[in-house]
Structure formats: C-alpha cells, structure tokens
Amino acid sequence: MTGTADFPHWAPGDHILWRYRGNSSGDVHICRPVTVVEHTDELLAVWMAPDTECVRPVLSDGSPVHQEPLATRYTAPRTTARARWSGMGVLKLARPHEPWSVWLFWDSDWRFKNWYVNLEEPRTRWAGGVDSEDHFLDIAVRPDRSWHWLDEDEFAQAQQAGLMDARQALRVRAAGQSAVEVIRSWGPPFSDGWEDWRPDPGWAVPELPADWNHTPEYRSA
C-alpha cells in the first residue's frame, strides 16, 4: 500500500473501496466504500461511516450467511446483496505486507468498545482501493488489553469445506500468533492512540459505484 509513481498515496478525505474476494471463486463478494484517514508508507487508515451502502455475501434466497448451519455454511449456494452498514462506523488500519488488519469499534456515544484483528491476505492495491481475502480466524482485543480468538469454529469448517488447505491454515494460524505477539507487547497500531480518533464531521458518506466488482490492474502493496 505504499505510494508509487502510478499509484501515489491517497489523501485524507479520498474515497476508495475496501474489498474481499471469495475464497473459492476469487470474485469480489464484499465491497465497502471508505474514506481515507491517513495513507503513508507505513499505514493505511480508513473510515467506514454509518449508513454506508456495501456489498455482502448472502445465501441464494437472500438470507444472511450466519443463519446457515455451520456444517453447510461454506457449501450452500450464495450470491451478493447491497445493504447499509448499521450502527457505528468502523476505523480500519492496515500496515503493508501484514496478513491482518486492525478494526476499531465504538458505542453510539463514542465510548471505545474493542479492537478486532481480521486475519486476511496482505492487501493488493489498485487505483480505486485495496483487495484482500478473508482468512476466517480473528482476534478480539478489549480496552484492558486482554484478548481472545474468534471464529475458530468457522476456521475449522472452512478447512473441511476445502476453502483452505492444511498448509495455508498453518500460515494463517502463524499469522495469528504473530498478531498476538504484537498485542502482548502492545505495539502499533494498538499503542498509537487511535481509540481517541474522531472522523471529520464534514466528510460525506462514500457512494457504492455501479462497477464495484470490476477486475482492476493491481500493484504491489
């Protein structure tokens, strides 16, 4: 996500797309328009505002994926749907080449709730945003710096469903352990004070473009 001659750093206030490809199809199945907070050679920080129109995976009948029993959650037919992000917004932080991003959540009165470590493929950059692939396993970090694993059942089921082989699963688990070491040492971005950050009230909510799922020309992140 570093700046290049073709793709310079985005400026604060720029609107980009934060997308995830499907683990089996490779097609984009999650797309979230976001506003750039900060973009340097060391960090991409973006804000997903409340009421942002996003794209999410759903079951073929339109029902939420989490309603499908775990045993068939990754084999049941799916499609995508547009939906508004409900509740408070999310601040997302990503450092180049790290196989995770860190998300911050607040209550409606801006009381900080928690950090969320989303294990994922290191992001690839294109002119209009970044793309990644979710790795199922996550970590929740509380304000008191305690932490715990999330979605270990989905991580195991994804392997059973053939979405991740044993070698990749070992890499993902190792990435998670590396993230835990950062948490234990309270390194960046946890130590950087982002929980006190607030969005510019003048920022407009980004729009979801009609071509949200187009295939871009990538550059190394």
Cβ atoms 1, 123 nearer than 8 A: yes
Name all domains of the chain by residue range, CATH numbers in brackets: 15-191 (2.40.380.10)
pLDDT tens digits for range 138-148? 999 999 999 99
Q: How confident is the model at residue 26 (pLDDT cuts 50, 70, 90)?
A: confident
User: Which of 207, 221, 212 is closest to 20 using CA atoms?
Assistant: 212
pLDDT tens digits for range 116-135? 999 999 999 999 999 999 99
For 194: left if phi > 0, alpha if psi spans -120 to 50, otherwise beta; the answer is: alpha
pLDDT at 4 over 90: no
User: Which of 181, 169, 114 is closest to 136 using CA atoms?
Assistant: 169
pTM of the model: 0.94
pLDDT at 173 over 90: yes
Structural tokens at position 69: 């029993």
